[in-house]
Structure 1
């Protein structure tokens, strides 16, 4: 009888518009899962692997109109393919839980929805890039005052995508809501208002069915 390898880990992505507190909650959720005895890897997009970090530099630097929505989608997909192949996939195979600050649903919302390419077209592009590597659960943080918080945070300058106008970011939120409505089992909307600890508890509730 051959020994079985480790049980596959779980893949969670945190999403949302600018200023909703994703980075804070990625760390808080990871700590909460570690307290439950889980081995957790934190990663981010764009980035998360050597090749993807190089593409990140291309994507986030320069003016708001440096790349078209189509070029952005292709660059993100290329970075994501490398990220999943070299970082996320191996960690899941080792039984680790992976929490990513953004992943494929950002492309669906930003380039597919707000960028006008179409959510389904961008989904097809990324299905080729990552095959079955979609997250087990995507948690979308929603916060009414997120845009204002982002403007205060980025008063000394933001990246080329985050610095776009309010109308663009409103379209992003609408696209996130549409994605959640289309995939209610995989994608959950989470209220990001109130104390950070309360938000973390809501995130844990949203993945309760995945926990061992």
Structure 2
């Protein structure tokens, strides 16, 4: 079968950033914007996306792997990612369906590597095994000061009448989250052709527009045949 042209092939877009920056909301909005243009899209997340990967997600985010250390957690994330890529991401891309993922390999680099201190060689080896060449076409890094991000999360929890709880990583100290932010910014700086940093401290509608501007500029074929 001949390979799809560059203008028609499916795209793989990932969203990265610290806790509370709005990734989940914006990835849903991007999916809706793409579907309005008759583009087949699947939305997924990491860790997760497949039954096996979701089981690993629960194990990690419940804090059950914390005592094992960041190296062991990096291996667990890679195992989840390997199944995610093989069972969901790669098959959809081959079938012409765009894939949007809430986190991907950059999160392992930021959380376990740059913040957790896991050796670069181990991170790179796990990454090579799990991705098997399925590198994102575009990574959107939503950037926001952690103090502001957690205040926004708390305000929304109060507004919705919900208890403010945190998972394994949300409960880390604020200085840890500041290092995490710097980790994501460093990754973006090292990968300018793939990563775009967008200021997340703006309204949801403004942020949606900023993301769409980046996506439509990167993939101009989206606008072909679209209403003016």
With structure 2 as the length reference, what TM-score do the two structures score? 0.85
Give the C-alpha shift of residue 196 in structure 1: 0.9
- CA, structure 1 residues 120+191, in 2 after alignment: closer, same or farther (shift >3 Å)? farther
CA RMSD of aligned residues (A): 2.1
SS at 1:92's partner residue? Answer: helix
Aligned to 1:109: 110
Question: Which residue in the other structure is 1:25 paired with?
Answer: 26
Alignment of 1:83-162 (within 5 A): 83-119=84-120, 121-144=122-145, 145-151=148-154, 153=157, 155-162=163-170
8 Å Cα contact 1:42-1:100 kept in structure 2? yes
Pair 1:9 & 2:18 matched: no
Q: Secondary structure at the match of 1:9?
A: coil
Unaligned runs of at least 5 residues, structure 1: none
> Computing the radius of gyration over CA atoms, which structure comes out larger, 1 or 2?
2
Q: Does 1:176 align with 2:184?
A: yes
Quote how far apart the aligned CAs of 1:197 are. Answer: 1.4
CA contact (8 A) 1:19 1:149 kept: yes
1:188 aligns with 2:223: no
114-123 vs 182-191, which deviates more? Answer: 114-123
| Gap change, CA 1:150 and 1:115, over 3 Å in 2 | farther
CA distance in 2, matches of 1:4, 1:185: 23
**Matches of 2:68 and 2:173 in 1, distance apart?**
16
Which SS does the other structure have where 1:42 is aligned?
Answer: strand
C-alpha spacing 1:163/1:186, structure 2 compared with 1 (3 Å): same
Match of 1:45 in 2: 46
Counterpart pick for 2:208 among 185, 200, 204: 200
**TM-score normalised per structure 1:** 0.91
1: CA distance, partners of 2:55 / 2:93: 23
Runs of 5+ unmatched residues, structure 2: 222-228
Q: Quick check: 1:142–1:192 contact (8 Å CA) kept in 2?
A: yes
Whether the 8 Å CA contact 1:143–1:192 is kept in 2: the answer is yes
Provide the residue aligned with 2:226 in structure 1. none
Note closer, same or farther for the CA distance 1:211–1:77 as it changes in structure 2 (3 Å cut).
farther
